[in-house]
Amino acid sequence: MPFQSLGLMPELVRALSDKGYTEPTAIQSQAIPAILNGEDVLGGAQTGTGKTAAFTLPILQRLAEHPNPKAKGPRVLILVPTRELAVQVHASIREYGKHIRLRTAVMYGGASMNPQMMALGKGLDILVATPGRLIDHLERGTAQLHRVETLILDEADRMLDMGFLPAIKKILNQVPKQRQTLLFSATFDAPIKQLALQFMRNPIEVQVSSQNTVAHTVNHIAHPVDPGKKRELLMHILSERYQEQILVFVKTKHLCNRIAEQITKDGIPALAIHGNKSQGQRLKALSDFKAGNVRVLCATDVAARGLDIPLLPLVINFDMPMVAEDYVHRIGRTGRAGANGDAVSLVATDEGGLLRAVNRLLKQDIVLESKPGFEPTTTMRMDLTPPRGKPSGHQAPRRKPAQPGHLKSHGMASQKPKSSSPGGSPRGRQRSPQR
Ligand code: AMP
């Protein structure tokens, strides 16, 4: 079904075809008509499903159809959990809206207040903000929300995980009651449902990806290897796939830096992205990677969540994730929107238990295949699952037991899930401070 048949205006369809997008994804087919129609929408969708465009396209159209160049405060407010996501959502708005005249701004913590204040002062159509920074502006009186017509909470579960609930409530109390509200979340635990019940009007529910699903276009393979040989094997794979851009997941910040440095020393430009890097460094690394200036991006799990790196052909797990669900988040960066992708895991002989946990979650056995020249000298110990919460030598990430998953393209579950429970999530997630 082409984009036109969803009711999108030619300016938007043109911007989409400039990007090479011809068909809407499932979340787009479901959400766009409802949002165009002014409905509140509760969207169950993870990164990688095309959810950003699902809310961006119809709000751009609504603004374009009813321009108000004199409006001072933002007419659309988009709240996101992290500065990276703020930058990405804003960039998407600029791209999809390139044939439409609109005033937009993005604001997040850690950046100077002044340019943000100037943007707010000039008047705005769309504001993308992290809750903490928006509260700073509200308290200084430099932001006003009484013109907001549409409020969007993107990755609402992550915002709550990060402790933004009080800030979100404060913000919700300052936007007009008569408005459209859109809430997107990968999971729908009680606090999210409560938020939706309290602040939305008869929302239409759309759900495309149940938890722990991965695209069926991803090929999974695991190479058993002696722990001391991993780096060599990584270099071997990088040189085999010399034409491609590759994301490498590493378990700690320290190792992440070291691997990126070593790869670079070995002649392949690489950068590291993790929680210890400044915001500037992270954004620069991401844009260098996107621009193709570096071929390899090494990342820790926390730093990489939500990053918009389209159409990666290959994701390498240098280390198996300590938490099986992270495998799904990691490889969510490949095999997107119908493209093929490879997920290659280097599994040390003492990481067999972690591989088994991933197999259990995916409900499939990832093919375990030695790379010639890198055959391990010891047997893979599949029985050695570190007790939950007590992985040896690591600080424990704590979470509830994994829910079973299945393999499907984007999930594409159904039009409307049972209203009460589009899927629970592992909560109480706590990370190793190392990451
Ligand atoms: P998101 O779920 O918003 O993070 O989007 C995932 C990726 O899919 C982004 O790189 C988008 O640019 C891309 N994308 C969004 N919509 C489409 C589409 N209709 N066709 C192909 N790719 C898309």
For the stretch 291-310, pLDDT in tens is: 888 999 999 886 666 565 65
Interatomic CA distance for residues 8 and 5, integer angstroms: 7
Q: What is the tens place of the pLDDT at every residue in 46-84?
A: 777 889 999 999 999 999 999 988 888 899 999 999 988
Q: In Å, how far are 52, 87, 320 from 306, measured between CA atoms?
A: 11, 11, 19
Token pair for 353 = 């238990």
The Å distance, Cα 355 to ligand 1 centre, comes to 29
- Mean pLDDT confidence for 226-236: 93
336 confidence band (pLDDT: 50, 70, 90): low
Residue 334 CB less than 6 A away from ligand 1: no
Quick one: pLDDT at residue 275? 76
- Mean pLDDT confidence for 397-423: 31
398 confidence band (pLDDT: 50, 70, 90): very low
The Å distance, Cα 223 to ligand 1 centre, comes to 30
213 confidence band (pLDDT: 50, 70, 90): low
Q: What is the tens place of the pLDDT at every residue in 138-164?
A: 999 999 999 999 999 999 988 998 899
Asked if the model's pLDDT at residue 367 lies above 80, the reply is yes
Q: Label residues 140-165 b or e (16+ Cβ within 10 Å = b).
A: eebbebebbbbbbbbbbbbbbbeebb
Q: Looking at ligand 1, which residue's alpha carbon is closest to its atom 11?
A: 50
Quick one: pLDDT at residue 207? 81
Give the residue among 130, 25, 19, 13 at the shortest CA–CA distance from 60. 13
Asked if the model's pLDDT at residue 249 lies above 60, the reply is yes
- SS3 for 341? strand
- Mean pLDDT confidence for 213-218: 66
Quick one: pLDDT at residue 208? 76
Residue type, 36: L
The Å distance, Cα 384 to ligand 1 centre, comes to 38
The Å distance, Cα 50 to ligand 1 centre, comes to 4
- Mean pLDDT confidence for 345-372: 90
Residue 336 CB less than 6 A away from ligand 1: yes
Q: Label residues 295-319 b or e (16+ Cβ within 10 Å = b).
A: bbbbbbbebbbbbbbeebbbbbbbb
| Lookup result for tokens 């708005």 | 93
Quick one: pLDDT at residue 215? 62
Residue 43 CB less than 6 A away from ligand 1: no
Interatomic CA distance for residues 385 and 388, integer angstroms: 8
Q: What is the tens place of the pLDDT at every residue in 83-134?
A: 889 999 999 999 999 999 999 999 999 888 888 888 888 889 999 999 999 9
The Å distance, Cα 159 to ligand 1 centre, comes to 21
Asked if the model's pLDDT at residue 384 lies above 60, the reply is no
- Mean pLDDT confidence for 345-361: 90
Interatomic CA distance for residues 58 and 56, integer angstroms: 6
Contact 326, 175 (CB under 8 A): no
- Mean pLDDT confidence for 257-282: 87
The Å distance, Cα 329 to ligand 1 centre, comes to 16
How many Cβ atoms are within 10 Å of 268's Cβ, its own excluded?
A: 18
- Mean pLDDT confidence for 255-280: 88
The minimum-distance atom of ligand 1 relative to the CA of 45 is 2
Quick one: pLDDT at residue 218? 79
**pLDDT above 90 coverage of the chain, percent:** 49
The minimum-distance atom of ligand 1 relative to the CA of 338 is 21
242 confidence band (pLDDT: 50, 70, 90): confident
| Lookup result for tokens 């959502």 | 89
Quick one: pLDDT at residue 411? 27
- Mean pLDDT confidence for 250-256: 92
- Name beta bridge partners: 271: 297
281 confidence band (pLDDT: 50, 70, 90): confident
Mean residue pLDDT of the chain comes to: 82
Lowest mean pLDDT among 95-104, 159-168, 322-331, 413-422: 413-422
